[in-house]
Amino acid sequence: MRRVLALVVAGTLAAATLPAHAQDEEKAPYRPTPQQVVDRMLALAQVKPTDYVVDLGSGDGRIVLTAAKKYGARGLGVEIDRGLVRDARAAAARDGLSDRARFEIQDLFETDLRDATVLTLYLLPEMNRKLAPRILEQMKPGTRVVSQEWGIGDWQPDVRETVAGTEEWTGWVKERGVFLWIVPARVAGRWQVERGDAAGGFALDLWQEYQMVDARDDRGGVAARFRPIKGSEVRFTVPAPSPLAGDYVGVVEGAMMQGEFTTPAGAKGTWRAARRGDASR
């Protein structure tokens, strides 16, 4: 995965924008995101008026300000540079956005992410990697994370794009990677599934890495093929000739899942599942 991501970001500004010595450090230098890239990041995250957009390392505030101005969203930018926070607050006041676009002087590693529905990042690879457990722990299933230039460790993006943007300090047009992740529900563990028809129930032993899920049959569970989960939505297939064969679609809510299935013959029905055991990993 790292190699794939490295290839995707190759040819972007990665090496050029951030001095080699800074890439090992934990403080990303200030580099404003070109407005075209800001626009694309927010469009990729499908920002809506109901969203709360948090930009970690918010610089002059342009991402949060654009989210408020263009999409009517609320937002918070956190930044350790006082001068940049002052500039961002002044821009918010000038545009009449102070009630919706807030800026705080804060270390981004201490920012509470529980209310964020969209998280934006333009940091350094090691910073993103370090943030991953916090993102997965605190952000709710279905919330979105967008980063430009860098991935988040070995967490594979759900969407990746290349976007051209004009650098303000050189005037050069450069291409860079923009990546979207949808925070996955936690489904690892043993589940007991009940189908609402004569086929009855079965166990699923789920192993999970980020949005990738494997249903293992080495402990008596059914071997099912899972698609990458999208937020709270699960999709899996139990292959024929099993009497349980079918395509299953459902929604995870904590320790419960429920949804619908379609058999290979086209019959439809409902299913429910309850978590019976701890996460396998």
Ligand X SMILES: C[S@@+](CC[C@H](N)C(=O)[O-])C[C@H]1O[C@@H](n2cnc3c(N)ncnc32)[C@H](O)[C@@H]1O
Q: Which is nearer to ligand X, 106 or 192 (CB)?
A: 106
Helices and strands per DSSP (H, E), number in the chain? 7, 15
C-beta of 192: minimal distance to ligand X in Å? 44
C-beta of 30: minimal distance to ligand X in Å? 4
Q: Which is nearer to ligand X, 80 or 93 (CB)?
A: 80
User: In terms of Cα–Cα distance, which of 109, 133, 132, 126 is closest to 56?
Assistant: 109
Residue 6's contacts (CB-CB under 8 Å, 6 or more residues apart) are none
C-beta of 148: minimal distance to ligand X in Å? 7
Q: Which is nearer to ligand X, 42 or 78 (CB)?
A: 78
Q: Which is nearer to ligand X, 109 or 217 (CB)?
A: 109
| Token pair recorded at residue 244 | 């349980």
Q: How far apart, in whole angstroms, are the C-alpha atoms of residue 24 and residue 185?
A: 31
Q: Which is nearer to ligand X, 68 or 206 (CB)?
A: 68
Q: In 3-state terms, what secondary structure has residue 60?
A: coil
Question: Which residue has its beta carbon closest to ligand X?
Answer: 57
Count the neighbouring beta carbons within 10 Å of the beta carbon of residue 274.
Answer: 13
C-beta of 184: minimal distance to ligand X in Å? 25
C-beta of 31: minimal distance to ligand X in Å? 4
Strand (E) positions, the chain? 52-56, 74-79, 101-105, 118-121, 144-148, 159-166, 173-182, 189-195, 201-209, 212-216, 225-226, 233-238, 246-253, 256-262, 268-275
Contact predicate 75/55, CB 8 Å: yes
| Token pair recorded at residue 264 | 């290979």
C-beta of 168: minimal distance to ligand X in Å? 10
Strand (E) positions, 26-172? 52-56, 74-79, 101-105, 118-121, 144-148, 159-166
Site residues, ligand X (CB under 6 A): 27-28, 30-33, 55, 57-59, 62-63, 78-81, 84, 107-109, 122-123
Q: How far apart, in whole angstroms, are the C-alpha atoms of residue 218 and residue 210?
A: 22
Contact predicate 106/144, CB 8 Å: no
C-beta of 222: minimal distance to ligand X in Å? 45
Q: Which is nearer to ligand X, 88 or 229 (CB)?
A: 88
Q: Which is nearer to ligand X, 122 or 155 (CB)?
A: 122
